[in-house]
Amino acid sequence: MKVSLLLFFSFVAGLLVRAAGQMIINRYPVEEAPEAPFAVERARMVEVQLAAPSRGIRDKRVLHVMGNVPRHEFVPPARRARAYSDSALPIGYNQTISQPYIVAFMTEILELKPESRVLEVGTGSGYQSAVLSGLVSKVFTIEIVPELAARAKADLQRLGYTNVDCRTGDGFAGLPEEAPFDAILVTCAADQVPPPLEAQLKPGGRMIIPLNDGSGQTLFLVCKDDLGISKKPVLPVRFVPMRRSKQTER
């Protein structure tokens, strides 16, 4: 009888867990979920790590795209079981895929519009590029590590992100041939806001960038208007350092 009761309660518990997962998916629906366990984890990530009052991501478009981009596809296979954890993860070459909350926060603060053209400095895994892809008309992304740039480009193409233009090069210099940009998102810590990026930001545009401040790093929101450039600290963070080519270090 005890064994039967244990089996019964285990069965009921399993039903409750599956029902809870489905409730989360219903609240933040995914467009495609070929791998059901990942879909449940992704929906839970949105509810717990992003939309919870303590986190405060409110933009419904950002929440929707975060619930649909398959983060596990941008994580090395050995780390895939932790793809939806509340943390950054190594992706090789001394680089990381950012914590989901930071990706959502940086994306939301740019106040992107469907017609926006965005520059991302530091492609890394390509995950942030994929998130931006679902919100704007065009994403230009640049990565200084050739191996990462090639891998991210292949993954983004394989997954159907057709409005992302991947480049290999020094992000400090930006992409002057494609400027101006409505928004710029930098995923590596610099000692200063690169002057080329300031110049390539459209008037009325916004940039989010982590800057070294002596004791750590802080995310700064950079806004450009008719009076010039303003900077506002918004969040303490920790990013990999910005790598530079010999040309921009001169």
Which of 108, 102, 110, 247 shows the shortest CA–CA distance to 124? 102
Can you tell me which residue has the tokens 């596809």? Answer: 73
C-alpha span between 241 and 209 (Å, rounded):
12
C-alpha span between 214 and 211 (Å, rounded):
9
Is 98 one of the catalytic residues? Answer: yes
Q: Could you say which of 4, 10, 87, 98 is catalytic?
A: 98
CA angle 31, 34, 36 (to 5 degrees): 95
Catalytic residues: 98
